[in-house]
Each structure stands twice: as C-alpha cells, then as structure tokens.
Amino acid sequence: MPSVALRRAARETVSGLPREFWWLWTSTLVNRLGAFVATYMALYLTLDRGYSASYAGLVASLHGLGGVVSSLAGGVMADRLGRRPTLLVAQSSTAAAVALLGFVSDPVAIAGVAFLVGMASNASRPAVQAMMADIVRPEDRVRAFSLNYWAINLGFAVSSMGAGFVAEVSYRAGFLIEAGMTAVCAVLVFLKLPESRPERAAKEVAKEDDVSLANVLRDGRYMAVVGLSFLVALIFQQGSVALPVAMGQAGFTPADYGMAIAVNGVLIVVLQIPVTRVIEHRDPRSLLVVSSLLAGYGFGLTAFAGSVGVFALTVCVWTLAEIVNAPTQTGLVVRLSPVHGRGRYQGMYTLSWSAAALVAPLMSGVVIDRFGAEWLWGVCAVVGTGAGLGYGVLMRRLPVQRPAAVPAKSAEVRAV
C-alpha cells in the first residue's frame, strides 16, 4: 500500500502542467548537469593554476559583479523584450564565455572573462522565473517551482560528483562540457519555447511602465527582504567558494570535495518536495528564523571537520536550512511582488544573490589567508544569527497571511 500511495503522490506531482513547462524544466536540468565553473573555479585557480585564495576570491567576486550588473538588466529585458529573447541572448553568451574561460591563462584575462561569465549567466534568472509564472496556472505554481528546483539540484548532485573526477583529468574539459550543455539549453529554448509574456492592453502597458527600478528601491518592505536574502545568500555561497579552498588547503582532493558537496544536491532531490508540502502552511516567520540559524551554524560546524564524512555531515545541516529557506523565502518574495513589473522585482531579488556572489568570495579569501578558515566559519554563524533576528523583526510588520511557499532557484546559488 505504501507503494500505491507513493505512485499516487508522484502522479499528482507531475500531472496537469503544460508542455512548455516541461521543456523549460528540461532546459534547467541540462544546464545543471553541465555545471562546472561555479563549483570548481576556486579549485581550478588555487590547485591547477597555483594562485592564492585571495586571488581566487577576487575572480569569484568579479564573477559575482557580473551577476550584479546583469540581474537588474535581465529583469528589465524580460519585461520589455520578452522572456524568450532574454533567455536566448543570455544562454548563448554564457556558452561562448565559459568556453573562452577554459583557454585564457593570463590572470587579468581570467578575471575579465569570469566577469563576462557572471554577467551572461545571471541575466537568464529573472526571465526563467517570469516565464514559469506566465505559462503555469496560479494554482499549479507551487508544484511547478518545486519541480524546477528539484531539477536544479538533481543536475547539481550529478554534476558535482562527475565534475570532481573530470577536474582531476582536465579542468579545460569541464569548461567545454559546461559550454556545450549551455548551448544545448539555448537550442531547446529556440526550438521548443514560444514567447510567454502576456499580451497587454495599452492601459496595462502604461501601468507596467509605472513600475520602474526606482519604485522597487522605494518599496522599503520588499528591500528589507532583499537585504536579509543577501545575508542568507552570503552564507550559502561559502559552499562553493570557501569550502573547496578550505578542503584543498587541508589536503583533500577535488573528488573529496565533490563527494561532500554532492550531499547537498542529493538531499534536496530527496527531501525538497515532501518538505515543501509539510511547511507550506506553517508560520513563515519561524521557518525563516530557524533556517537562517541552521545555515549559519551548519557552516560554523565546519570548523570542527577533519574528514570527508564530517564535512558531509555539516553539509547536511546547512542543506536542511536551504530546503526550508528556499520555498519560504520565495513565497515571501512572490507575496510582496506586484503583477506588473514582475521581471524587475525578480531581478532585484536575484540581485541579492548576485551581490552575495560578489562579496562572499572576496570576504572568504581574505579571512582564510589572514586568519584561517576557522574564523570564517565563525563569521557564518554570526551572520546567520543576524539574519534570523532580522526575519523575526520584519515578519512582525507584515500583514497576517500565510501564502503557499514557492521554491526559487536557489541557489540562486545554482541558477539556470
């Protein structure tokens, strides 16, 4: 009987969604199966190229700076030009930039191309979220975003393990594989996904034009959410920035890191959908507070790790934080975003993750070089505590309402 119930739950999870959603879902999965740069850039620079952790942090920060530039631009493009053109431009540019990154050797050139990769790859995020909202019925969006988030992490789990072994043979091969996979995504978008931006009457166009980036910035309540999201993202970024550097300095191999970090994707694949069903009607304030604390102290526990197994256990702790935070946080973002100007609001939310990708590597590289990795893990615990307190205060000022939670991209840490 449990198997019957399981099959029924699986059927209910995947049924009723439009064909266009599944092509977008497939594009997401293909993109994440080829992920390499974001996960192994720090190891490539420190182990293969012999640069310092500070330089690796600087390059990763420039990658994040590119994301900062394109997050808002991608949101505006998605609103004005359309979702499909934005995706095509972003994914094609990403494929070309990632391939180039595998061949440049000059430190200045590496830094410059990393900036271009960050700018191109992050431009697609607001368009993906907006397109998904366009093509899926409102009552099915929770399920659709959950499935998309599941695809992101399924691809991440597989690519983390596979790319670790690829890196031991050839980092360049990893760059070329990611470039090829991203190009396949662009082909899928071109062949299978029509433009989804709703047709609007002249009155609606005028109303949307009233929602400028300045309006988003003046929305104090929403910007508070963006600020707290930045703090949480700052912590989660350490999984792909500081953790590989710290493990490398401790004598662990890229494959060891790949096995440890793959736990993150595997747990999310297994637990995200059932956990979302459990928490979607819970008090969002307590969920955001608890998830922030789990994130901070999960990374804080890394200071005591001395084996791959213990590193994997710490990954389990902050992965639980991610599983809880992603749907709850994005449900809050959806709740505070107006229908008009959806791309701009999504772009601003994406900006919080891009800004974290800019700050986190630079911060972690300097702290590790000057004080040691243990200090960095302590800082993560402090930041997590601050974010938890911030959510506790902010949620008291919001109207009493408990919307269904909608997972994002997280990991935004792992965008399409």
pLDDT grade for 384, boundaries at 50, 70 and 90: very high
If one counts every other C-beta atom within 10 angstroms of the C-beta of residue 4, the result is 8
SS3 236: helix
Q: In angstroms, rounded to a whole number, what is the distance separating the alpha carbons of residues 121 and 237?
A: 16
The 10 Å CB-count burial string (b at 16+, else e) for 390-415 is bbeebbeeeeeeeebbbbbbbbbbbb
pLDDT above 60 (res 158): yes
Torsion of CA 69, 390, 395, 264, to 10 degrees: 70
Read off the pLDDT of each residue in 19-36 and give the average, rounded to a whole number: 86
Which tokens hold the place of 87? 């995706």
For the segment 63-87, the average pLDDT, to the nearest whole number, is: 84
Cβ atoms 71, 126 nearer than 8 A: yes
Partners of 410 in the beta sheet?
A: 412
Tens digits of per-residue pLDDT, 323-380?
888 877 876 777 777 766 777 887 888 888 878 877 887 788 888 888 888 899 999 9
| Of residues 43, 169, 155, 56, the one with CA closest to residue 114 | 56
Residue 100 pLDDT more than 90?
Answer: yes
pLDDT at 115: 92
* Amino acid letter, residue 10: A
Average pLDDT over residues 59-85: 83
Cα–Cα–Cα angle for 289, 363, 91, nearest 5°? 85
Residue with the bigger pLDDT between 106 and 163: it is: 106
Mean pLDDT of 144-161: 77
Q: 266-269 contacts: CB < 8 A, separation 24 or more? A: 266/157, 267/316, 267/319, 267/320, 267/323, 268/149, 268/150, 268/153, 268/156, 268/157, 268/319, 268/322, 268/323, 269/150, 269/153, 269/154, 269/157
Mean pLDDT (whole number) for 5-18: 66
Identify whether the C-beta of residue 84 lies closer than 8 Å to the C-beta of residue 32. no
Q: What is the mean pLDDT of residues 25-36?
A: 83
Q: Quick one: pLDDT band at residue 388, thresholds 50, 70, 90?
A: very high
Q: Tokens in use for 9?
A: 């739950």
The rounded distance, in Å, linking the Cα atoms of 16 and 168 is: 43
**Domains annotated on the chain, with CATH:** 18-195+214-396 (1.20.1250.20)
Of residues 142, 360, 415, 68, the one with CA closest to residue 243: 360
Alpha-carbon distance 61 to 43, whole Å?
15
pLDDT digits (tens, 9 = 90+) for 203-223: 455 455 556 777 778 888 889
Section 125-146 average pLDDT: 78
Q: Which of the four pLDDT bands, split at 50, 70 and 90, describes residue 202?
A: very low
Q: Quick count: other Cβ atoms within 10 Å of Cβ 104?
A: 14
Q: What phi and psi values does residue 346 have, to the nearest 5 degrees?
A: -65, -35
Residue 125 pLDDT? 83
User: Residue 241 above 70 pLDDT?
Assistant: yes
What pLDDT is recorded for position 30? 87
Residues 363, 256 contacting (CB under 8 angstroms)? no
Q: Is there a contact between 347 and 76 (Cβ–Cβ < 8 Å)?
A: yes
% of the chain with per-residue pLDDT over 90:
21
Identify the band that residue 3 occupies on the pLDDT scale cut at 50, 70 and 90: low
C-alpha to C-alpha distance for 18 and 27, rounded to whole angstroms: 15
| Higher pLDDT among residues 136 and 182, named by residue | 182
The answer for residues whose C-beta is within 8 angstroms of residue 231's C-beta and 6 or more apart is 292, 383, 384, 386, 387, 390
- Higher pLDDT residue, 191 or 51? 191
**Residue 59: pLDDT above 80?**
yes
Residue 113's pLDDT band (cuts 50, 70, 90): very high
Q: What gap in Å lies between CA 110 and CA 106, rounded to an integer? A: 6
SS3 state of residue 404: coil
Whether the pLDDT of residue 29 is over 80: the answer is: yes
pTM of the model as a whole? 0.72
Confidence of residue 1 (pLDDT cuts 50, 70, 90): very low
**Alpha-carbon span 74 to 86, nearest angstrom:** 7
Averaged pLDDT score across all residues of the chain: 81
* Position 135 pLDDT exceeds 90: no
